């Protein structure tokens, strides 16, 4: 057998042993918001990224990311695309979800400053205040520390864009990070649900996506 065949066979064996992680499918709710950036970060975390716009696509994913954008718009589109009820059912069934910014708002059980026709999915027992960091700080970056849920505690450059904060959490919610200037909660986990007020997909630091992919893979196995 030529040397190249041997090395191919060897690499196939090695990757087969590591395969479970690679076959994890993580969807991105692709109705509005920064979908492409999340797809890139999912691929970098070792999972297979797919866009979710239809109930059948939702059925096929192991976990789902709800991106940043505009939570009121995403909520309206969820209803129009007949995804609100299927998404609630999958979340109730334990599907891992990660929401960033508008996605965090959608995962909350209670909202402050919500639009009159805006609902949320209630995946995390928390009260989230929309646009909490205010106009003057519409957009800013901050070095935060993420701890718990497998994070290593190394500084993380967090990008906040018209960001919410978490005003209050229930007893089952783990606080993963606060924003240093305000002391406000900006990253949480409750069971298979993870949320950040900032946008980890906008930096090259893939730790949040990697931890989410690990959560999805572990729950799948």
181: exposed, middle or buried (Cβ count in 10 Å: 0-12, 13-18, 19+): exposed
Q: Is the dihedral of CA 162, 184, 201, 190 positive or negative?
A: negative
Using rule CB under 6 A, residue 97 touches ligand GLN: no
Phi/psi of residue 15, nearest 5 degrees = -70, -30
Distance CA 94, CA 220 (A): 10
- Verify whether residue 168 is a known catalytic residue: no
Q: Is position 18 annotated as part of the catalytic site?
A: no
Per CB under 6 A, contacts with ligand GLN among 183-212 are none
Indicate which residue of 199, 209, 218, 221 is catalytic: 199
Interaction between residue 121 and ligand GLN (CB under 6 A): no
Burial class (CB in 10 A: 0-12, 13-18, 19+), 213: buried
Question: Least distance to ligand GLN from the beta carbon of 2, Å?
Answer: 53
Count of helix runs (H) and strand runs (E) in the chain: 7, 12
Alpha carbons 60 and 26: distance in angstroms, whole number: 9
Are 201 and 41 in contact, with CB atoms under 8 Å apart? yes
Shortest distance in whole angstroms from residue 69 CB to ligand GLN: 5
State which of positions 140-159 bind ligand GLN (CB under 6 A). Answer: none
**21 in contact with ligand GLN (CB under 6 A):** no
Interface mask toward ligand GLN for 53-82; x: CB under 6 A: ---------------xxxx-----------
Q: Which of 32, 109, 131, 145 binds ligand GLN (CB under 6 A)?
A: 131
Q: Is residue 199 among the annotated active site residues?
A: yes
Q: Which listed residue (37, 101, 179, 209) is catalytic? A: 101
Q: Which residues are at the interface with ligand GLN (CB under 6 A)?
A: 68-71, 101-102, 105, 130-131, 161-162
């Amino acid at each position: 057998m030529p040397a190249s065949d041997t090395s191919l066979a060897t690499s196939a064996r090695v990757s087969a042993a590591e395969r479970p992680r690679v076959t994890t499918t993580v969807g991105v709710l692709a109705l509005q918001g920064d979908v492409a950036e999340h797809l890139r970060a999912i691929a970098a975390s070792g999972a297979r990224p797919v866009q979710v716009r239809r109930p059948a696509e939702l059925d096929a994913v192991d976990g789902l990311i709800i991106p940043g954008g505009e939570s009121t718009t995403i909520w309206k589109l969820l209803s129009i695309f007949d995804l609100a009820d299927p998404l609630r059912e999958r979340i109730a069934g334990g599907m891992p979800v990660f929401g960033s910014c508008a996605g965090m708002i959608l995962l909350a059980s209670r909202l402050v400053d919500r639009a009159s026709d805006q609902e949320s999915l209630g995946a995390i027992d928390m009260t989230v205040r929309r646009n909490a960091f205010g106009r003057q700080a519409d957009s800013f970056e901050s070095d935060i520390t993420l701890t718990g849920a497998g994070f290593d505690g190394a500084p993380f450059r967090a990008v906040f864009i018209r960001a919410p904060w978490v005003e209050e959490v229930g007893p089952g919610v783990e606080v993963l990070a606060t924003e240093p200037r305000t002391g406000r909660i900006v990253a949480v986990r409750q069971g298979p649900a993870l949320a950040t007020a900032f946008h980890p997909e906008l930096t090259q630091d893939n730790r949040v996506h990697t931890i989410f992919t690990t959560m999805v893979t572990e729950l799948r196995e």
